[in-house]
Amino acid sequence: MNHNKTYALIMAGGSGTRFWPLSTKKKPKQYLNLVGEQSLLTETLARVAPLSQNQDRFIVTISTQRKLAIAHSQEYMPASNVILEPSARNTAPCVFLSLITLLSKNAHASDMVIILPADHVILNHRGFQDTLQKGVDLAKQTSSIVTIGIIPHTPHTGYGYIKIDKSTSKVLEFKEKPNYETALSYMRDGYFWNAGMFIASVGTLLEEFATNAPAIYAFKDRLLQALQASNEKEIASLYQELPSISIDYAIMENSKRISLVPSEFDWSDLGAWDALIPILRQQQQQQQEQGENFLVHQNERFFFSDAKNNLIKSDPSQLITMIGVNDLIVVNTPSTLLIVKESDAQKIKEVVSYLENQEWGNEYL
């Protein structure tokens, strides 16, 4: 049996509330075509495809997204490779369930796993693949977990940071999201953004669960037996008992076996609508006729006068006119209209919270 496989595991269960009203429960952000002809999930699978075989790619998501996950991955992996979380238990149980699922499908401890979020935007595919291959090689050589560090270009306060020993590339510390002054000092000191992408062997990951998250690891044998027997009721029962904790808190911030490979590619985690602007600016820089405004999917007809730095998403057949307004995000769907200042894009999740508490709100979610 080949014990040199490289599995790709895509985490795709998010809700994408800050991309409301386009991102909804029926079709969250990772299934939207925001920066290209394919969805973010499909783009992620396409980027990682040269590093893994079709049958070795997996998606882990929630049961309500099963059909979407299959529809957006059918070119890149079998439908049977969609792993379903029985309930939402955060990323550490999610990764653990996925690892045990791989074991149930005869994965070996020495097989490698590339773990990626489904909703990142990366335009430089070659740089991405070169970086991840370096990560795979380093993880094999050092029996460590390798995280991909994004080289900061601004003192961003919305990302976690990573401090490394520059002589060994070993991770010394993970830092929480800082204030502006702290982010500026991190950037000056050569810290990296934490993108939540990591690589390790199946065996190394399980060893780190055993060491740093024993309350989760204790379920390994029973969960494996339930998966091998396809006992969905038992899987759900066991999964519900796992502590709900992120992979960062459970493993990454406690492990002594973390190394870092710097990114050789552009990156955005598309946290909210405003994150699209620099990407669209790069894509649309040749289209001078629309000035300094950014259209998500090109509309054929528009009129802008004294209007700059506006992000607009509407039906491509609609006429768009903007006069004397700047720095707005405007999203128009058949049932909703969103208008928000770019600087307040993070507050969109407040609308989602409001709708969740209204009797009539669910139809807009």
Distant-in-sequence, close-in-space partners of 67: CB < 8 Å, separation ≥ 6: none
What pLDDT, on a 0 to 100 scale, did the predictor assign at position 291?
Answer: 61
Residues 312-330 as b or e (16 or more Cβ within 10 Å = b): bbbeeeeebebeebebbbb
Nearest alpha-carbon partner for 198 in 271, 270, 149, 160: 149
The Cα–Cα gap between 73 and 81 comes to 10
List, in sequence order, the alpha helices (H) in 242-340: 247, 276-283
Q: What is the pTM of this model?
A: 0.90
Nearest to 134 by CA among 166, 174, 169, 104: 169
C-alpha 223/C-alpha 241 separation (Å) is 11
In sequence order, what are the residues at sequence separation of 6 or more whose Cβ sits closer than 8 angstroms to the Cβ of residue 320?
295, 299, 301, 302, 303, 312, 314
Q: What is the pLDDT of residue 201?
A: 97
Residue 124: what are its φ and ψ, rounded to 5°?
Answer: -90, 85
Can you tell me whether residue 261 is helix, strand or coil? strand
pLDDT (tens place) for every residue of the chain, 365 residues total: 556 899 999 999 888 888 999 999 889 999 998 887 899 999 999 999 999 999 999 999 998 999 999 999 999 999 999 999 998 888 999 999 999 999 999 999 999 999 999 999 998 999 999 999 999 999 999 999 999 999 998 898 888 999 999 889 999 999 988 999 999 999 999 999 999 999 999 999 999 999 999 999 999 999 999 999 999 999 999 999 999 999 999 999 999 999 999 999 999 888 889 888 888 877 766 455 556 788 887 667 888 999 998 999 988 888 899 999 999 999 999 899 999 999 999 899 899 999 999 999 999 99
Instruction: Look at residue 66 and give its three-state secondary structure.
Output: helix
Q: How far apart are CA 321 and CA 303, in angstroms?
A: 5
**10, 41 Cβ separation under 8 angstroms:** yes
pLDDT of residue 184: 94
* Domains by residue range for the chain, with CATH: 6-262 (3.90.550.10), 275-364 (no CATH)
**DSSP symbol at 252:** I
First to last CA, the chain: 47
